[in-house]
Amino acid sequence: MGLFEKIKSGLLKTKESMVKRIDSFIGSFTKIDEEFFEELEEILITSDIGVSTSVKICDELRKRVKEKGITDPLDIKSEMKEIIVEMLGEDKPLDLSTKPSVIVVIGVNGAGKTTTIGKLSAQLKNSGKKVVVAAADTFRAAAIDQLEVWTKRSEVDIVKHAEGSDPAAVVFDGISAAKARNADVLICDTAGRLHNKKNLMNELQKISKIIHTQCEESSVETLLVLDATTGQNAVNQTKQFMEVADITGIVLTKLDGTAKGGIIISIADELKIPVKLIGVGEQIDDLQTFSRTDFANALFD
């Protein structure tokens, strides 16, 4: 299966939920009036695009209908696709331009953080890069053990301390190891304890300070891993993490298991943070670089 086919397959539930409803709705109207826009807005809101973003899409559609003199409801879908592509902003792949490049992975437990690190490590290794993983989620022994399983499977190096150790110390040792071993990429896991935001903030600030002190010339990505099945709750999680970290990109996991893929549009529009990677299946290569064009084509074509 090619890359686009994987994305198309991963978004199938979202397409069936959102776009099929839009198709059925459009087919039931013979003219574009205010009732048409009100019902369309309701479909978008219930497709996890969110109230604010849904209103924006419909307002822009009203404007285009007026400017272009569109009278046939069947012409609305292509306009909506264009609007959504524009809302998603420019594609921004991971910045791995330095040696080492640093990727800090944050997110609540259960969102798919460990799996994302494992898959990303394997992909980078397979592309010829030397990778070191720092197991800095020392709050849970299971997190360290799971990462060790993934790193063995991916044949990349891991730096770990005992459960309960200082996460910043693990990152410091990870940086030292990455430099000593001439690694291309250092990936740092972190704890996901949003219920104790003050501790999390202090932890992430210490980690950030060490990275910027020890790797001041390195590109640093801070990726927030979100579970797509949580829908609009993912937006709320992002807002909370934005208070404690300088997020450079989103990883949206479990897209293949949910009809709530419209959350991508809401995140890009409301929070102006680029979605950089999406998880569309269980296999290692099912972690894909996000493309706004592929996303829109997979949904609307």
pLDDT at 67: 95
Query: Residue 196 pLDDT more than 90?
Result: no
Quick one: which H or E segment has residue 275? strand 275-279
Query: Is residue 32 very low, low, confident or very high in pLDDT (cuts 50, 70, 90)?
Result: very high
pLDDT at 1: 57
Query: Residue 58 pLDDT more than 90?
Result: yes
Residues 118-176 pLDDT 10s: 999 999 999 999 999 999 999 888 999 999 999 999 999 999 999 999 999 999 999 99
pLDDT at 147: 94
Residue 46 per-residue DSSP state: I
Question: Residue 277's beta-bridge partner residues?
Answer: 251, 289
Question: Residue 102's beta-bridge partner residues?
Answer: 186, 220
Residue with tokens 């898959």, as numbered in its chain: 119
Sorted by where each begins, the domain ranges of the chain are 3-87, 101-291
Q: What is the CA radius of gyration of the chain?
A: 21
Average the pLDDT over 73-79 and give the result: 92
Is residue 81 packed enough to be buried (19+ CB in 10 Å), middle (13-18) or exposed (0-12)?
middle
Query: Residue 106 pLDDT more than 70?
Result: yes
Question: Residue 158's beta-bridge partner residues?
Answer: 133
pLDDT at 2: 63
Query: Is residue 251 very low, low, confident or very high in pLDDT (cuts 50, 70, 90)?
Result: very high
pTM for the predicted model, two decimal places: 0.93
Query: Residue 224 pLDDT more than 90?
Result: yes
Query: Residue 210 pLDDT more than 70?
Result: yes
Residues 8-30 pLDDT 10s: 888 888 888 888 899 999 989 88
Query: Residue 201 pLDDT more than 90?
Result: no
Instruction: Give how far the C-alpha of residue 259 lies from the chain's centroid of Cα atoms, to the nearest Å.
Output: 16
Query: Residue 284 pLDDT more than 80?
Result: yes
Between residues 109 and 250, which one has the greater pLDDT?
250
Query: Is residue 3 very low, low, confident or very high in pLDDT (cuts 50, 70, 90)?
Result: low
Query: Residue 194 pLDDT more than 90?
Result: no
E strand segments, 36-162: 101-106, 131-135, 157-159
Average the pLDDT over 221-233 and give the result: 94
pLDDT at 221: 98
The overall average pLDDT reported for the chain is 92
Q: Which fold has domain 101-291?
A: Rossmann fold (3.40.50)
Query: Residue 177 pLDDT more than 80?
Result: yes
pLDDT at 198: 82
Does domain 3-87 correspond to CATH entry 3.40.50.720? Answer: no
Do residues 131 and 255 make contact, with C-beta atoms less than 8 angstroms apart? no
